[in-house]
């Protein structure tokens, strides 16, 4: 197997990997700006320079020349090479900044050049704290600048499009954003204009940067030149906690991080999962923040009057006591987790009702073959696997308006907004509703309304449209639950080191809601059907055992990146 | 560049300019299209023809407003954004309307030492405009240029991306402006270095008469 020597250490490799990527994969932290693993390497930032050599070869014998000690003589290239564009070959010897003073000096000088016209407005820059330029200037850069002249001023706060704002002064012209639009999203909306010190990325005249994936350039920008219009100046990066979870606007289940400050979702950024979304997120997934923060209920209600959780559970169980099971209708939800839907089916069975149905939320023509899907709910596949089927809206309507339903149990959905019936038509029906928002149109008709934890507040799992079971982790806490004690939550600095007396510590915006895996067993136990689960982890473990549709989908197996499930037809 | 050094501010370009050309005016003739396709086919990838295409468009329309750049991009079949980036990179592509004759006076090191700024200022006084401006009759535009690669014949200027006028003096400027007013472009002249004339009796390059490159003005191979 071919070998390469990096900083006097030998590595074996296969194929022809690029040197920079190989170094990064093997823990050699080479500084770089313009290189991105998914795109071409133009080698224009010059930050990843290394010293590269090959064993000197005797032209006649075709063997390596040896020095006095019997070691091969290494012939280094006359100039330093950009490792991002360097293909590896057998016998190559590489010196990085760890072992070569020339490389240290080159990286330092490159940074000095990059910083000549950089405004150094880090104190007000959104990128500060997770800025490659800032980090690398601290790590590898010069102590100060020798450029004591006026810096070039370029356009600031330019709206490139509906979601992206440009600060051209901060740009170091790495062209990652341009390569993203030309190689990844293929919208070709950005270019570098002008030349020399005057150049900056821009859309050509008459073109707006309205790519549905435009906000990816914000993440890949190694400086704060491209920022989000929505999140700009919203929160510093160290004030937020970052929780690895999945996006829930469609059935793709793109892996993402939810960034939370003061229990509010501030932004959503992609999490690399090469089996699902690679490095990217669509703009609609990124802008999916307000839903979690606004119009949230303040507590459970019975007959539209706020009550305690105890009373609400009691009222709900009263509604389900002594009913004719065939005249009860349970509606599951493609927005709710597999676990919650599973518990709902158990509850339905317990009261003798038929298997729940769910409402499909399909928007024809929304899909683009990439991350956007026609199915606008995250867990339709999970429902299908549990034996729930998409409801025929007309049939449901006929049943409800025809007086065939006495009790309607709606899990985390909005049956009125879905067009099944009007709130008035539900007057004679006992309605139990788990709801996310006070804008839920079924709410006025609900006899018992239980605020439900949304995908960012609960523990659970979703099955995406490509049959991949993935876990949700709670990014924000809910009222009455200590956020660090709740399972697998992302910690921010305040969680790790803070006390309640720190000024950044905040208990505001806690929503008084409960996840389905808490509230459904509560109702069931009041009906005399104990559901003995410690938490969703146990529920999923039971499902993985008992249900062939979920074989192998335990929390341990799903881990960070999820597991692929077998198609139902094969296993059933 | 001098002004930029004193006040280094890059202004935001007009992102939604009024189109200058539209409708039938904004199109290439059949011959021009054929010429562009010929260039496209002569490069490994079609993007190679972009500079030829832009040059042809500039010869035809006089300058390159965004809609013309879009036209070139569509003709070649490459992204408008990339074409726009190329057009703004090169100062020889005019992004706004210029005079009939654009006088690029070199003020880079060699020309500067030999009086390039004197020539520039003489020209400014003579035409009554500053550099970067166009005379009221729309005939002349004066620009300050960086090195045009003719240091041996400094100070010099270039007329509308075409012939060089070498060894400038105020008298030569007067004659040049008069000639241009009459519509006479200066002839291309092949210049040798003074020391060569001493050493080799006039011209070290004995192949001047044989090599077309040395004897022909490097203008574009456009149709008009």
Query: A502 or B168, which is more confident?
Result: B168
d(CA A150, CA A287): 38
Q: What's the pLDDT score for residue B216?
A: 54
Q: Are residues A312 and A446 in the same domain?
A: yes
**Nearest by Cα to A289 from A338, A252, A334, A240:** A240
Burial class (CB in 10 A: 0-12, 13-18, 19+), A509: middle
Of A428, A466, A452, A520, nearest in space to A292 by CA: A452
A462 beta partners:
A470
Mutate to test the interface with A, among B9, B14, B15, B74 (most CBs of A within 10 A): B15
**Cβ-based contacts under 8 A for chains A and B:** 70
In a domain, A264, yes or no: no
- Measured in whole angstroms, how far is the alpha carbon of residue B156 from the centre of its chain? 14
CA distance B88 to B94: 8
Q: Is the pLDDT of residue B146 over 60?
A: yes
Interface test with B, best of A173, A189, A200, A204 (most B CBs within 10 A): A204
B106 and B171 together in one domain: yes
Is A358 domain-assigned?
yes
Q: What is the pLDDT of residues A159-178, one digit of tens each?
A: 999 999 999 999 999 999 99
Whichever domain contains B179, its CATH number is: 3.40.30.10
CATH of the domain at A351: 3.40.50.740
Q: Is A466 a residue whose pLDDT tops 80?
A: yes
State whether B54 and B119 are in the same domain. Answer: no
A98 shares a domain with A12: yes
Q: So what's the pLDDT on residue A14?
A: 92
- Asked whether the beta carbons of residue A204 and residue B80 sit closer than 8 angstroms, the reply is yes
Q: Which of A87, A114, A141 is the last residue of a domain?
A: A114
* Integer Cα distance of A163 and A186 in angstroms: 18
Q: Are residues B128 and B166 in the same domain?
A: yes
3-state helix, strand, coil in chain A (%, to 5): 25, 20, 55
Token pair for A338: 């597999």
What are φ and ψ of residue B47, in 5° steps?
Answer: -60, -25
3-class DSSP assignment, residue A140: helix
Q: Which of B10, B81, B83 sits opposite A203 (nearest CB)?
A: B81
Given B43, B62, B89, which residue is the final one in a domain? B89
Residues 6 or more apart in contact with residue A529 via CB below 8 angstroms: A346, A347, A350
Q: Are A177 and A222 in the same domain?
A: yes
Domain membership of residue A203 as a residue range: 122-228
Q: Are A406 and A430 in contact (CB under 8 A)?
A: yes
CB contacts, 8 Å: B82 with chain A: 182, 188, 191
CATH number at residue A89: 3.10.20.740
| Mean pLDDT value across residues A335-340 | 94
Least CB-CB distance to A205: which of B16, B79, B90?
A: B16
Cβ of residue B23 closer than 8 Å to a chain A Cβ: no
- Rounded CA separation A454/A476 (Å): 10
* Cα separation, A22 vs A351, whole angstroms: 59
Question: Does B81 share its domain with B150?
Answer: no
Q: For residue A68, is pLDDT > 60?
A: yes
Q: Would residue B213 count as lying in a domain?
A: no
Which of the listed residues B89, B111, B129 is the one where a domain comes to its end?
B89
For residue B148, being part of any structural domain is answered with: yes
Question: Is residue B124 included in any domain, yes or no?
Answer: yes
Q: Is B54 on the interface with A (CB under 8 A)?
A: no
Residues B134 and B55 in one domain: no
Q: Flag whether A545 is in a domain.
A: yes
pLDDT at position B220 over 80: no
Residues 126-185 of B with CB under 8 A from A: none
Q: Where would I find the beta strands (DSSP E) of chain B?
A: 101-106, 140-145, 157-159, 164-165
Q: Is B223 on the interface with A (CB under 8 A)?
A: no
* CA distances (Å), origin A396, targets A130, A353, A416, A567: 51, 15, 12, 28
Q: What CATH number has the domain bearing residue A157?
A: 3.30.70.20
Please tell me the distance in Å from B20's CA to the nearest CA on chain A: 13
Residues of B in contact with A192 (CB under 8 A): 85
Sequence-distant (6+) residues with CB within 8 A of A396 are A329, A357, A415, A420, A421
Backbone phi, psi, residue B151, to 5° = -60, -30
CA distance B71 to A365: 31
Domain that holds residue B83: 18-89
CB contact under 8 A, A158 and B79: no
How many angstroms separate the CA atoms of A543 and A413, rounded?
23
One domain for residues A400 and A540 = yes
* Residue B80: both structure tokens together: 């408008």
Contacts of A205 in chain B (CB under 8 A): 13-17, 66, 84
Q: Determine the pLDDT at residue B194.
A: 58
Q: Is position B140 within any domain?
A: yes
Residues A229 and A166: their CA atoms lie apart, in Å, by: 9
Cβ neighbours of residue A253 closer than 8 Å, sequence gap 6 or more: A246, A247, A276, A378, A462, A464, A465, A466, A468, A470, A562
pLDDT of residue A143: 87
Q: Is B16 on the interface with A (CB under 8 A)?
A: yes
Q: Are A207 and B80 inside 8 Å of each other by CB?
A: yes
The token duo for A518 is 């808490």
Which residues, 6 or more positions from A130, have their beta carbon under 8 angstroms from its beta carbon? A237
Residues A538 and A402 in one domain: yes
Of B49 and A261, the one with more pLDDT: B49
B134 and B54, same domain (yes or no): no
Taking alpha carbons only, the member of A474, A481, A491 closest to residue A512 is: A481
Q: Which helix (H) or strand (E) holds A111?
A: helix A101-114
* Residues from chain A contacting residue B95 (CB–CB below 8 Å): none
pLDDT confidence of residue B219: 53
Instruction: Find the CATH number of the domain harbouring B37.
Output: 1.10.10.1590
Chain A residues lying within 8 Å of B80, measured CB to CB:
188, 204, 207
Among B8, B81, B85, whose Cβ lies nearest the Cβ of A207?
B81
Residue B153 covered by a domain? yes
| 8-state DSSP, A73 | P
The per-residue pLDDT for range A264-281, each reduced to its tens digit, is 899 999 999 999 999 999
C-alpha count within 13 angstroms, C-beta hemisphere, residue A181: 26
Q: Is residue A570 part of a domain?
A: no
> What does the pLDDT read at residue A477?
80
- Regarding beta strands A9-12 and A74-76, do their DSSP bridges make them parallel or antiparallel, or are they unpaired? unpaired
Same domain, residue pair A324 and A365? yes
Q: Does residue A171 contact residue A225 with C-beta atoms inside 8 Å?
A: yes
Quick check: helix, strand or coil at residue B75? helix
- Picking from A158, A191, A200, the nearest residue to B81 by CB comes out as A191
Q: What is the pLDDT of residue B201?
A: 55
* Cα–Cα distance measured from residue A516 to residue A498, given in angstroms and rounded to the nearest whole number: 31
With vertex at residue A130, the alpha carbon angle to CA A129 and CA A131, rounded to the nearest 5 degrees, is 100
Are residues A90 and A143 located together in one domain of the fold? no
Residue B214 has pLDDT above 80, yes or no: no
Enumerate chain A positions whose Cβ falls within 8 A of a Cβ in B.
150-155, 158, 168, 178, 181-182, 188-195, 197-198, 200, 202-207
Residue A571 has pLDDT above 50, yes or no: no
Question: Is residue A8 domain-shared with residue A132, that is, in the same domain?
Answer: no
Same domain as A91, residue A160: no
Name the range with the highest mean pLDDT among A10-14, A508-512, B2-6. Answer: A10-14
The partner residue sitting opposite B9, judged by closest CB among A153, A194, A206, is: A153
Instruction: Please state, in angstroms and rounded to a whole number, the distance separating the CA atoms of residues A48 and A381.
Output: 45
How is residue A354 written in tokens? 């038929």
Q: Does B77 touch chain A (CB under 8 A)?
A: no
- Residue B217 forms part of a structural domain: no
Task: Report DSSP state, residue A48.
Answer: T
**Where does a domain end: A54, A86, A114?**
A114
Torsion of CA A95, A96, A102, A106, to 10 degrees: 140
What pLDDT score was predicted for residue B77? 95
Is 90 exceeded by the pLDDT of residue A61?
no
Q: Under a CB-based contact definition with an 8 Å cutoff, are residues A181 and A188 in contact? A: yes
Is B182's pLDDT higher than 90? yes
- pLDDT at position A239 is 82
Specify if A179 maps to a domain. Answer: yes
Closest approach of B194 to chain A, Cα-based (Å): 34
**pLDDT for residue A531:** 87
Q: Cβ–Cβ of B79/A151 closer than 8 Å?
A: no
Closest CA to A228 of A179, A153, A281, A293: A281
Instruction: Let me know whether A69 and A138 are in one domain.
Output: no
Of A152, A189, A190, which has the smallest distance from its Cβ to B8's Cβ? A152
Residues B85 and B109 grouped into a single domain: no
CA dist A272 and A280 (Å) reads 8
Within 13 A of B185's CA, how many CA atoms are on the CB side?
16
For residue A328, what pLDDT is reported? 92
Residues A193, B14: C-beta atoms closer than 8 Å: no
Which of A91, A114, A137 is the last residue before a domain boundary? Answer: A114
CA distance linking residue B50 with residue B28, whole number of Å: 15
pLDDT, tens digit (0-9, with 9 covering 90-100), for A368-406: 999 999 999 999 999 999 999 998 999 999 998 888 899
Q: What is the pLDDT of residues A557-569, one digit of tens each?
A: 998 899 999 887 6
Do B136 and B62 fall within a single domain?
Answer: no
Residues B120 and B78 in one domain: no
* Domain end (from B57, B89, B121): B89
Strand order across the beta sheet in which A226-228 lies: A158-159, A164-166, A226-228
Residues of B with Cβ-Cβ distance to A181 under 8 angstroms: 81
Indicate whether A329 belongs to any domain. Answer: yes
Average pLDDT of chain A to the nearest whole number: 90
Predicted local confidence at residue A572, as pLDDT: 39
Structure tokens at A409: 């149990």
More confident residue, B199 or A151: A151
Q: Spell out the residues 6+ positions from residue A392 whose beta carbon is closer than 8 angstroms to its own.
A: none
CB–CB of B10 and A194 under 8 A? yes
Percent of all residues in chain A with a pLDDT value above 90, rounded to a whole number: 72
The residue among B21, B78, B85, B87 with the most chain A CBs within 10 A of its CB, best to mutate, is B85
Same domain, A313 and A421: yes
Residues B82 and B106 in one domain: no
CA angle A368, A372, A376 (to 5 degrees): 125
Cβ-Cβ contacts under 8 Å, A198 against chain B: 10
Residue A492 banded pLDDT, cuts 50, 70, 90: low
Domain count, chain B: 2
Dihedrals phi, psi of B35, to nearest 5 degrees: -60, -45
Asked if the model's pLDDT at residue A220 lies above 90, the reply is yes
Confidence at residue A570, expressed as pLDDT on a 0 to 100 scale: 45
Q: Do residues A160 and A212 share a domain?
A: yes
Determine which of A173, A177, A206, A210 to mutate to test the interface with B (most B C-beta atoms within 10 Å): A206
Whether B36 is in a domain gets the answer: yes
Residue A562 lies in a domain: no
Domain presence at residue A184: yes
Q: Work out how many domains chain A is built from and give that number.
A: 3
Nearest chain B Cα distance for residue A153, angstroms:
5
Interface ipTM: 0.86
Provide the shortest C-alpha distance from residue B40 to chain A (in Å): 20
Could you tell me the sign of the dihedral formed by the alpha carbons of B23, B24, B28, B33, in that order? positive
Alpha carbon of B191: minimum distance to chain A alpha carbons (Å):
31
Rounded to the nearest angstrom, the minimum Cα separation between B65 and chain A is: 9
Q: Has residue B13 been placed in a domain?
A: no
Asked whether the predicted pLDDT for residue B56 surpasses 90, the reply is yes
Same domain, B77 and B114: no
In this predicted model, what pLDDT tens digit does every residue of B14-32 receive, in sequence order? 899 999 999 899 999 999 9
Residue A205 to residue B10, Cβ atoms within 8 A:
no
Question: What was the pLDDT predicted at B224?
Answer: 39
> Which residues make Cβ contacts (< 8 Å) with residue B8, sequence separation at least 6?
A150, A151, A152, A153, A197
* Residues β-bridged to residue A258: A243, A268
Residue A464 three-state SS: coil
Residues of chain A positioned with their CB less than 8 A from the CB of B89: 193-195
A345-355: average pLDDT: 93
């Amino acid at each position: 197997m071919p070998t390469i020597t990096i900083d006097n250490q030998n590595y074996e490799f296969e194929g022809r990997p690029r040197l920079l990527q190989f170094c990064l994969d093997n823990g050699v932290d080479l500084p770089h700006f313009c290189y991105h693993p998914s795109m071409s390497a133009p080698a224009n930032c010059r930050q990843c320079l290394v010293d590269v050599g090959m064993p000197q070869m005797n032209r006649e014998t075709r063997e390596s020349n040896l020095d006095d000690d019997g070691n091969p003589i290494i012939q280094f290239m006359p100039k330093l090479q950009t490792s991002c564009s360097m293909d590896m070959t057998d016998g190559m010897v590489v010196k990085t900044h760890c072992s070569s003073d020339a490389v240290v000096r080159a990286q330092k000088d490159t940074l000095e050049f990059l910083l000549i016209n950089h405004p150094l407005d880090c104190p007000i820059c959104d990128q500060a704290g997770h800025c490659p330029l800032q980090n690398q200037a601290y790590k590898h850069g010069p102590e100060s600048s020798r450029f004591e002249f006026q810096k070039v001023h370029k356009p600031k706060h330019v709206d490139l499009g509906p979601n992206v704002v440009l600060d051209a002064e901060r740009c170091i012209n790495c062209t990652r954003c341009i390569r993203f639009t030309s190689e990844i999203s293929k919208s070709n909306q950005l270019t570098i204009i002008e030349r020399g010190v005057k150049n900056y990325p821009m859309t050509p005249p008459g073109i707006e940067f309205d790519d549905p994936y435009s906000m990816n350039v914000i993440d890949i920008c190694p400086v704060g030149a491209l920022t989000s219009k929505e999140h700009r100046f919203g929160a510093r990066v160290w004030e937020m906690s970052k929780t690895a979870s999945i996006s829930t606007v469609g059935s793709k289940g793109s892996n993402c991080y939810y960034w939370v400050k003061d229990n509010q979702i501030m932004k959503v950024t992609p999490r690399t999962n090469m089996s699902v979304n690679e490095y990217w997120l669509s703009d609609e997934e990124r802008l999916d923040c307000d839903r979690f923060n606004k119009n949230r209920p303040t507590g459970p209600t019975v007959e539209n009057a706020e009550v305690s959780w105890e009373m609400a559970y009691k009222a709900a169980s009263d509604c389900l006591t002594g009913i004719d099971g065939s005249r009860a209708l349970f509606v599951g939800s493609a927005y709710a987790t597999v676990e919650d839907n599973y518990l709902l089916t158990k509850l339905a069975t317990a009261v003798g009702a038929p298997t729940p149905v769910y409402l499909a939320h399909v928007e024809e023509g929304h899909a683009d073959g990439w991350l956007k899907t026609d199915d606008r709910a995250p867990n339709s596949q999970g429902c299908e696997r549990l034996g729930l089927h998409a409801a025929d809206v007309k049939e449901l309507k006929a049943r409800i308006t025809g007086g065939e339903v006495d009790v309607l149990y709606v899990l985390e959905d909005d049956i009125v907004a879905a067009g099944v019936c009007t709130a008035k038509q539900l007057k004679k029906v006992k309605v139990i509703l788990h709801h996310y928002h006070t804008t839920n149109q079924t709410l006025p008709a609900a006899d018992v309304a239980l605020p439900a934890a949304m995908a960012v507040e609960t523990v659970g799992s979703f099955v995406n449209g490509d049959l991949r079971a993935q876990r949700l982790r709670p990014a924000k806490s809910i009222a009455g639950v200590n956020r660090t004690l709740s399972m697998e939550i992302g910690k921010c600095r305040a969680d790790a080191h803070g006390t309640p007396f720190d000024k950044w510590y905040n208990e505001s915006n806690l929503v008084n809601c409960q996840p389905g895996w808490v509230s459904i067993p509560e109702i069931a136990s009041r009906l005399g059907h104990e559901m003995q689960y410690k938490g969703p982890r146990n529920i999923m473990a039971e499902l993985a055992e008992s249900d062939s549709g979920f074989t192998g989908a335990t929390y341990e197996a799903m881990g960070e990146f999820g597991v692929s499930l077998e198609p139902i037809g094969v296993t059933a | 560049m001098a002004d930029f050094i004193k006040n280094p501010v890059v202004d935001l370009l007009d992102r939604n300019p009024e189109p200058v050309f539209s409708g039938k005016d904004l199109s290439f003739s059949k011959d021009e299209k054929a010429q562009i396709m010929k260039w496209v086919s002569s490069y490994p990838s079609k993007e190679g023809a972009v500079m030829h295409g832009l040059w042809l468009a500039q010869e035809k329309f006089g300058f390159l407003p965004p809609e013309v750049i879009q036209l070139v991009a569509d003709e070649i079949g490459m992204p408008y954004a990339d074409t726009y980036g190329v057009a703004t990179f090169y100062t020889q592509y005019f992004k706004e309307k210029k005079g009939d004759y654009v006088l690029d006076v070199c003020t880079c090191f060699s020309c500067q030492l030999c009086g390039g700024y004197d020539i520039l200022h003489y020209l400014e006084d003579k035409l009554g405009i500053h550099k970067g401006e166009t005379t009221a009759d729309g005939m002349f535009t004066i620009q300050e240029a960086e090195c045009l690669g003719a240091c041996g014949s400094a100070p010099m200027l270039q007329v509308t991306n075409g012939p060089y006028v070498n060894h400038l003096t105020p008298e030569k400027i007067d004659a040049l402006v008069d000639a241009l007013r009459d519509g006479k472009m200066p002839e291309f002249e092949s210049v040798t270095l003074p020391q060569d004339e001493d050493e080799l009796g006039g011209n070290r390059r004995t192949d001047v008469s044989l090599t077309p490159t040395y004897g022909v003005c490097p203008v574009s191979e456009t149709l008009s």
